[in-house]
Amino acid sequence: MQIDLSGRTALVTGSSQGIGLAIAAGLAGAGARVGVNGRSTGSVGRAVAELRERLPDADLVEVVADVTTDEGCAQALGLLPDVDVLVNNLGVYGATPALEVDDDAWRRYFEVNVLTAVRLTRAVLPGMTARGWGRVLNIASDSAVVIPVEMIHYGVSKTALLAASRGFAKAAAGTGVTVNAVIAGPTHTGGVEDFVRSLVGDTLPWDEAQREFMRRHRPQSLIQRLIEPEEIAHMVTYLASPLASATTGGALRVDGGYVDGILP
């Protein structure tokens, strides 16, 4: 398949590292103009420099803005006024015993993981529908379906993101705009690599260490390894393309078979 996003403008929130950076690379590699977002000039500058080294012809915009606030959203959309592809990737997570998650933490997770995506979607959807084309993609998690006992506040926020995705897809019905969620499974990032090493030790080569981690601690995974950020980016790039024009309102899994069920 030839994915061509030439002439399209994309904004990927929280894209200075990890999954977001991989998604930005995927969209830029397909020809889109991509807004790389983070809260600091340094982190965004480093991410853009890395992308330009890998993709010398990439059309990149540094979007330094805290999109969890009204002001930050306005600032980001001022730099990219006509967004054709919105990827709501930004999110926070952390382990806390269920009975120790206080009201402030619940509010923070909902504000960052749900309302940030809702606010940006609400801002860009009218322009997309007026132009007759657009893509909104919300990066969810297997935790939306398999609620982790140590992170129920995170899981609930991602469940809400699935519902928001379905609802906005209905709001965009018949307009040429699609809205989908991507359910990401256990993914290989710097923080996760440290976590794996803390559980299985430093003696094994990385490939063996991650497989031992999955065997012992994530046995329901069918691929029996961590997912690479680029694998999630492949799904996002496809869904952002004209090839996915009949896919909307969905929760598509890039989870390595982690969720033990057929739907979503």
What residues are annotated to the active site?
154
Q: Which of 166, 119, 120, 105 is nearest to 140 (CA)?
A: 166
Q: Which of 168, 164, 122 is nearest to 140 (CA)?
A: 164
CB 92 within 8 A of CB 15: no
CA distance 249 to 263: 13
Kindly calculate the radius of gyration of the chain based on its CA atoms and give it in whole angstroms. Answer: 18
CA distance 184 to 220: 14
CB 225 within 8 A of CB 264: no
- Residue given tokens 């499974």 in the structure block: 185
List the alpha helices (DSSP H) in 30-149: 41-54, 70-79, 103-110, 116-131
Which CA distances in Å does 219 have to 21, 226, 229? 28, 12, 20
Largest Cα separation within the chain, whole Å, is 57
CA distance 96 to 29: 38
Which CA distances in Å does 9 have to 133, 140, 183, 201, 236? 12, 22, 23, 43, 14
